[in-house]
Amino acid sequence: MRSAPTILHLDMDAFYASVEQASKPSLRGKAVIVGGLGPRGVVATASYKARVHGVHSAMPMSQARRLAPNAAYLVPRFTLYRSISDQVMALLRALSPLVEPLSLDEAFVDLEAGGTAWDERSARLVGAKLRADIRAVTGLTGSVGLAASKMLAKIASEQAKPDGLVVIEPGTERAMLEPMPVRTLPGVGPATGDHLRRAGIHTVGEIAEAGEDELVRLLGKAHGHALYAMALARDDRPVVAERETKSVSVEDTYDVDIHDRVRVGLEVQRLADRCVRRLRGAGLSGRTIVLKVRRYDFSTLTRSETLRGPTDDPAVVREAAARLLDSVDTTGGVRLLGVGVSGLADYTQEDLFAQAAGGAGEEVAEAEESESASEPRPEVPVERRWSAGHDVRHTEYGHGWVQGSGLGRVTVRFETPGSSPGRVKTFRVDDPALEAADPLPLVEAPPDLPEPMRPPEEPPPRPLEG
């Protein structure tokens, strides 16, 4: 572990919900919940106001609605979130070449490798400036933790939430960790936490007191050794700039179980095509095709098939996924299907195309929502176009967002990121004056930011006299 707090961990505060509040003035300061709105949807992010009611990420949306019935419920806009994440990651990469993204809203940065921090004071200044730059460029807030290791930097950013900065100075780590609950440490989930609690271990300090041998006895060799090291604040993991993509996959959860075997097959084919679109978008191919099926009783089955070499051909992937489906019993109904490709490479093996029935070279449609001609799908009701939270434009009233739709009507609130809370209007779903629109920027004109500070250069040596 290094001798200065130059590992930075950034966590954007309630990211998806914060983006929605920044773009919708009427939702600022209110409970906002983003996620799947169907009967089997889950919460992706909840604003801090919603968390007061007990709502949290990964909670079933039905439970969230019971806890916070008056909250605003919105469908995610991942394209917008990704574009804002790109702005934030660009700010981080201006600080150091070693940036390790963990998700759209979270990353580690090695400030020492970028020469932007070398002691406690310079690290604190960089952290404060980063938070100000994020607000200036995106209009959002982020919490920053600074420490001498990745584990401690992440713990510091958790302490800093929301919209704060915490620096853990070297030499203070053990004293800070000792009174914290065991769940503070990475990898200690509910099951491990309960196991430790039954053994009389409730705090990080008590983990250290229990000793390595006792932890190995309780948790097994690998977990016991790792947990003991973390309790002693030992973490030598480096910040890794490129996290290798191990697989590409897509999946869908269905509001109503699918019982028709033909429909299941068509869904698998559609998912295979979507997966290949993602593969090609990333410039990748893969050797192993994976099928995931969650049945009516929540049992989950996975099947895989490894090809002779990597491919990004949709016909090959579809055919392999269909073969895998043949080995799965779906009689009782299916609630989730997924198709993935692993064993990734940045090249394809042409002779694999011969595996595809009907020849090779079928192109994947560019648009994410376009379907293969061999996959007839039921016509979607017009109401489904108007997803709650998505942007629209009306020829008379201008830009707005969908508050809700149903029974042939759609309700729109007309406001923009820079306006006051706007007025609400209701229209027929087929109103020709209303159309889908692209999101507006959260900040109209992001400022030109100054270069990050660098350590002073050493003065040149003076020539010897003589």
- Positions annotated as catalytic residues are 106
Nearest to 110 by CA among 150, 141, 142: 150
Q: Which residue matches tokens 């679109």?
A: 277
Q: Using alpha carbons only, what angle is made at residue 267 by residues 264 and 271, rounded to the nearest 5 degrees?
A: 140
For 236, other C-beta atoms within 10 Å of its C-beta total: 10
Instruction: Tell me which amino acid residue 156 is.
Output: A
Question: How far, in Å, CA of 167 to CA of 35, rounded?
Answer: 33
Residue 72 DSSP code: E
Q: What is the DSSP letter of 203?
A: B
Q: How far apart are CA 232 and CA 178, in angstroms?
A: 9
To 10 degrees, the CA torsion angle through 265, 269, 274, 276?
A: 140
As a dihedral over the C-alpha atoms of residue 317, residue 322, residue 325, residue 330, rounded to 10 degrees, the angle is: 130
At how many degrees (to 10) do helices 78-93 and 15-23 cross? 110
Query: What tokens does 66 get?
Result: 């019971």
Tokens of 253: 């959860």
CA 387 to chain CA centroid, nearest Å: 21
CB distance 47 to 15 below 8 Å = no
Per-residue b/e over 244-262, b at no fewer than 16 CB within 10 Å? eeeebbbeeebeeebeeee
* Residue 53 DSSP symbol: T
Dihedrals φ, ψ of 465, to 5°? -85, 150
Residue 194 identity (one-letter amino acid): D
Q: Report the C-alpha gap between 419 and 94 in whole angstroms.
A: 32
Which structure tokens are listed for 65? 């609605």
Q: Which two tokens stand for residue 69?
A: 């019935």
Contact residues for 67 (Cβ-Cβ < 8 A; gap 6+): 53, 54, 55
**C-alpha to C-alpha distance for 25 and 178, rounded to whole angstroms:** 42
Q: What are phi and psi of 10, to 5 degrees?
A: -110, 135
